Amino acid sequence: MMVVRRGCSLIPDKMQSVAEIGIDFIKGMVNEYIGKDGMKYFPFIGTLFFFILTSNVIGLIPGSYTLTSQLVVTGAFAGGIFILTLVIGFAKHGLHFFGILVPPGIPKLLIPVMIPIEIISQLARPISLSVRLFANMTAGHTVLTVLFSLATATALWIGWMPFGFTILINGL
């Protein structure tokens, strides 16, 4: 982003246009899901988005490594964001933040049953998201490795094929 920022002009070049499209995309998502109050979180969300995007794109380069294929990295992201949302939720709503543990319209008899279920649900989200990102990146690298191995093995086999035909023709 710093490279794009240095070359900012009134008439954007290609890099600036791509960066502006990415920024507008993130702003649209923030406005849609959080609302106008969410724009104060835009720098954090944008930085996180571009970090994960850049890390995953770098992983496409043969022989390189993506950070998001490590469970420690994805777990740290998910855990940090989970704690951040708890802190922001308590700062904004106080003790009423616990209201997310009780779905609206539920009978009062089910509240003691629903609270533990909702706590488990809230704790499972960051774990699920971190494992999903880790598994997707690891699976992608595994598939690319298998395809590369097959392509290499096939190239070796096809490279010897003319000799096999020559031997076959001479043997007949």
27 or 10, higher pLDDT = 27
By the 10 Å C-beta count (0-12 exposed, 13-18 middle, 19+ buried), 26 is classed as middle
d(CA 48, CA 74): 11
d(CA 29, CA 45): 10
pLDDT at 160 over 70: no
- pLDDT tens by residue, 119-143: 999 899 999 999 998 998 888 888 8
The residue-averaged pLDDT of 139-166 equals 75
> Worst-scoring range by mean pLDDT, 23-27, 41-45, 152-156?
152-156
Domain spans of the chain? 2-171
**C-alpha distances in Å from residue 59, one per residue of 24, 71, 75, 146:** 25, 15, 18, 16
The residue-averaged pLDDT of 70-93 equals 91
The residue-averaged pLDDT of 142-158 equals 77
In order, the DSSP letters of 112-124 are HHHHHHHHHHHHH
The residue-averaged pLDDT of 144-159 equals 75
170 or 46, higher pLDDT = 46
pLDDT at 51 over 80: yes
pLDDT at 56 over 90: no
Judged by DSSP in three states, 100 sits in helix
Q: Are 24 and 42 in contact (CB under 8 A)?
A: no
**C-alpha distances in Å from residue 36, one per residue of 28, 31, 79:** 10, 6, 25
State the helix-helix crossing angle for 111-171 and 71-93, rounded to 10 degrees.
Answer: 160
Cβ neighbors of 90 (< 8 A, separation 6 or more) are: 97
Q: For residue 107, what is the DSSP state?
A: -
